[in-house]
Chains A and B, each alone.
Chain A
């Protein structure tokens, strides 16, 4: 059974389009995260949600909007895609405790042309 899953695995789109990436976890965790990994492999947190409530919101353009319909899902919607949005996006989840292990999904490689 996949613990943290993301769809799609690959996403190729044109500048200016709007796209969504979905994330689901079946671990019963309370907290979910979105990270962005750039071409140099630098991994940076974007958002975190705890029980559907936004906890962390880094300095991310407001074109990025996370949505958590329930605590098992955290989707990422991106409006007006730009070339610089090309990256691998990882979803992760953990229990509520801050040192609890974060389990990462397999990533979504977004390419903006």
Chain B
């Protein structure tokens, strides 16, 4: 059974700081997705990465997929209070089954 480990579990920072969160898998990802979940809401897809070494940018968010496709990082530049939420990485299989990590809870203080 694939296990996804995210670190850190909790992160509390001041507005304007940079941060990186990590996702490591016990086996090679099929495709990796990052989601953000705000309190009281469902997760929202941020990005899908497929190719080892791939880097994708979404405004102030940079997603990197490891060359061996077993790890990924999410870097946020100049964090804002609106970035607060639970960040989840997930592997998506060829049946659409998502296997999630336990998430990183990010709090950005104004």
Contacts and interface: CB of A to CB of B under 8 A. Distances in A.
Contact of B40 (A40, A44, A100, A106): A106
B100 A31 contact: no
Interface stretch (A12-20, A65-73, A75-83, A91-99): A91-99
B59 interface: no
Contacts of A44: 100
B42 A106 contact: yes
A102 B100 contact: no
Interface in A43-96: 43-45, 48, 55-56, 90, 92, 94
Interface stretch (B19-27, B68-76, B86-94): B86-94
A26 interface: no
Q: How large is the interface on A (under 10, 10 to 19, 20 to 34, 35 or more residues)?
A: 20 to 34
Contact of B42 (A31, A56, A94, A105): A105
Contacts of A94: 96
B92 to A, nearest CB: 6
B96 A48 contact: yes
A40 B100 CA distance: 13
B92 A43 contact: no
A56 B96 contact: yes
Nearest to A44: B100
Contact of B96 (A4, A33, A43, A106): A33
Interface of B: 31, 37, 40-45, 48, 50, 86, 88, 92-100, 102-103, 105
9 contacts: A31-B96, A40-B102, A41-B105, A43-B100, A48-B96, A56-B95, A94-B96, A99-B92, A102-B96
